A and B are shown apart, each in its own frame.
Chain A
Amino acid sequence: MKILCVFVLCLLVSCSVRQVQTKPELTGGASGAESRSICKQSFIQGNWQFTHSINFEMAAGHGTTLVGITVLEEGKLKTALLGVEGFVFFEAEQKSDKQIVVRRALAPFDKPGFAEALLQDVQTLFVAPVTIAMLLAKNTNDDRVCRYVTDTSHTLDVLLSGHGWHQINEYDRQDTITRSVHGSDYTEIEGQYIAQEIELKVFGSLGYTLDLQLLTAEKIP
């Protein structure tokens, strides 16, 4: 009986360990100019203004719907969170040198670290990462993967489809997944494929899930 209990305990521990997603092995990597171009093109090009409805759910289960604005313009990233009625809760800009300027932040969006975390999320969704190494390879499912290694030793795997990326997974230094993004229901707008639905998950005890539904997408001069 004691042996059975130990066996079950080991099985449960191994199951919980397996549930933590870790960085997968890739095969056949290439990092030349063509690979870099393929990977860069998988992200949206040019200047754009997007609005999304964002259903925001915390790990504790509380949720709300906001309107998110994202503007990509000349290397700058601008973002705002509004109530459905148009009231601005948060507005910030990340300049081309990565400096963040917060123009407005009302509670609860005025907490330390919120601006940095939100802009990191937005950057993950819309901007090809600037990294110290990049590789185009394949995973065990035969998906093409652009693997980026950042200057903070994080890894970003961007899984490609005919529409650009459809899945992005971010791993920490221990190769444990910290963030995942899944895009679906792509629509062609102004020659580029835009996901109508995006799910972003941040893992961990302070994790959260964002469900984004595209409201508008406009190319801007």
Chain B
Amino acid sequence: MLLCFLVIPVEGLAAPEVKSVQANFVQEKHMAILARPLLSRGRFLFQAPASLRWEYFTPLHSILLMDDGKIRKFVKTKDEFVEERSMGLSAMQMVLQEITGWLDGNITDTPTFLAKRVAERKIILTPRKPALSKIISQVELQLLDDSGLMKSVTLYEGEDSFTRMVFSDAVVNRKIAKSSFKGP
């Protein structure tokens, strides 16, 4: 779910030097058991080389921070943020490492995913290892336009379950305060 905010180099165009990216997103969770998708809203901040703030505002306020090689997670409980030592952080670390690799423009050769451009603005990522493919079967990146900005990311967990994030109001290379990555 955190794969998503990249500026993807597009063939024929000079790849912009990405120092920072920030955008809003709406996340839809689709599952066979759901009568209606679950909707979440949030915003992310990314500062090269590897600082990230991934924040959900609704329905549950939570923040994932990556900075100085550390990943921390906070969830708002009864009006205050509580840091969690939950499972899944190792999976997050793996995903975030992929992100930094993509910023170098190396989409096709990550250690974890094989990338294939299936249409002008659509890239499919599939896990290299069978163990991961049982958890994430495929990632679909949809580009906004020739600028390389991302329109959406869809992460498939199986036939009936996927998470789609649609981005908006993206801003590239605007200064972001370092404190944004230090705490809630």
Chain A interfacial positions (CB closer than 8 Å to B): 47, 49, 51, 53, 55, 62-65, 67, 69, 71, 73, 78-80, 82-89, 91, 93, 103-104, 106-108, 215-216, 218, 220-221
Contact = CB atoms under 8 A, between A and B. Distances in A.
Nearest to B31: A80
12 contacts: A47-B35, A63-B84, A71-B34, A79-B33, A83-B88, A84-B62, A84-B73, A87-B91, A87-B163, A88-B161, A103-B32, A215-B59
B77 interface: yes
A69 B34 contact: yes
Interface in B16-47: 27, 29, 31-36, 38, 40
Contacts of B87: 64, 89, 107-108
Contact of B38 (A51, A78, A91, A106): A51
A80 B135 contact: no
A107 B135 CA distance: 11
Interface residues of B, number: 33
Interface string B125-151: 000000000010000000000000000
Interface of B: 1-2, 27, 29, 31-36, 38, 40, 54, 56, 59-60, 62, 64, 73, 75, 77, 84-88, 91-92, 135, 157-158, 161, 163
Contact of B75 (A73, A84, A216): A84
Given A88-B31, A93-B33, 15 more contacts: A47-B35, A49-B35, A53-B59, A53-B75, A62-B85, A69-B34, A71-B34, A82-B29, A83-B86, A83-B88, A85-B64, A86-B29, A86-B38, A103-B32, A106-B135
Looking at A78, A84, A220, the one whose CB has the most chain B CB atoms below 10 A away is A84
A17 to B, nearest CB: 34
B59 A64 contact: no
A84 B60 CA distance: 7
A107 B5 CA distance: 28
A194 to B, nearest CB: 15
A65 B60 contact: yes
Contacts of B56: 84-85
A91 B135 CA distance: 13
Nearest to B39: A216
B94 to A, nearest CB: 12
A130 B29 CA distance: 33
B86 A65 contact: yes
Given A64-B84, A69-B38, A216-B59, A88 B33 contact: no
B35 A218 contact: yes
B36 A218 contact: yes
B37 to A, nearest CB: 10
